[in-house]
Amino acid sequence: MFRNTREGLALALPAAIFSTLLFLVPVCILLSEAFRAGGSWSLQGYIDFFSTPLNRTVFLRTLKLGVLVAGTAAVIGYAAAFCIVNLGPKSRGKVFGMVVLPLMISPVARTYAWIVILGRTGIVNEAITGLGLSDTPLRLLFTETAVFLGLLQLFLPLMIISLVSAMENIPRDVIPAARVLGASWIAVFFKVILPLTKEGLVIGGTLVFTGALTAYITPAILGGSKVLMLETLLYQRVNVSNDFVSASVIAMILIVMSFSANLLLKRIATARS
Partner 1 sequence: MKTQLSILALASALGTAAHAEDKTLTISVYSFAQDEYKEALYDPFEQMCGCKLVVETGNSVERMAKIEANAADPVIDMAVISTQDALALARKDLIQPLDSAKLSNFDKLYDSAKDPVGDNMAVGYTYYATSIVYRSDLVDIASWSDLLGEDVAGQVALPNVTTTQGPLTLMMLGKSLGHEDDFGPVISEIGAHASDIVTFYSRSSELVQLMNQQEVIAAPVGRFAWASFKDAGLPFAWAEPEEGQAGGMNVMVMTKGNGNEELAYQFMDYWLSTEVQTKIGEMLVDSPANKEVELSPEAADNLTYGADVIESLNILPADEVLDKREGWVEQWNTEVIQ
In the complex, which residues of this chain contact partner 1 (CB under 8 A)? 52-54, 57, 115-116, 119-121, 139, 141-142, 224-226, 228, 236, 238-242
Taking the least distance from each CB to partner 1, the nearer of 35 and 235 is 235
Taking the least distance from each CB to partner 1, the nearer of 81 and 141 is 141
CB of 107 to partner 1, least distance (A): 17
Taking the least distance from each CB to partner 1, the nearer of 142 and 189 is 142
CB of 242 to partner 1, least distance (A): 5
CB of 154 to partner 1, least distance (A): 20
Taking the least distance from each CB to partner 1, the nearer of 77 and 150 is 150
Question: DSSP for the chain?
Answer: --SSHHHHHHHHHHHHHHHIIIIIHHHHHHHHGGGEETTEE-SHHHHHHHHSHHHHHHHHHHHHHHHHHHHHHHHHHHHHHHHHHTS-HHHHHHHHHHHHGGGGS-HHHHHHHHHHHHSTTSHHHHHHHHTTS-SS----TTSHHHHHHHHHHHHHHHHHHHHHHHHHTS-TTHHHHHHHTT--HHHHIIIIIHHHTHHHHHHHHHHHHHHHHH--HHHHHHTTTTS--HHHHHHHHHHTS--HHHHHHHHHHHHHHHHHHHHHHHHHHHHH-
CB of 142 to partner 1, least distance (A): 5
Taking the least distance from each CB to partner 1, the nearer of 53 and 130 is 53
CB of 53 to partner 1, least distance (A): 6
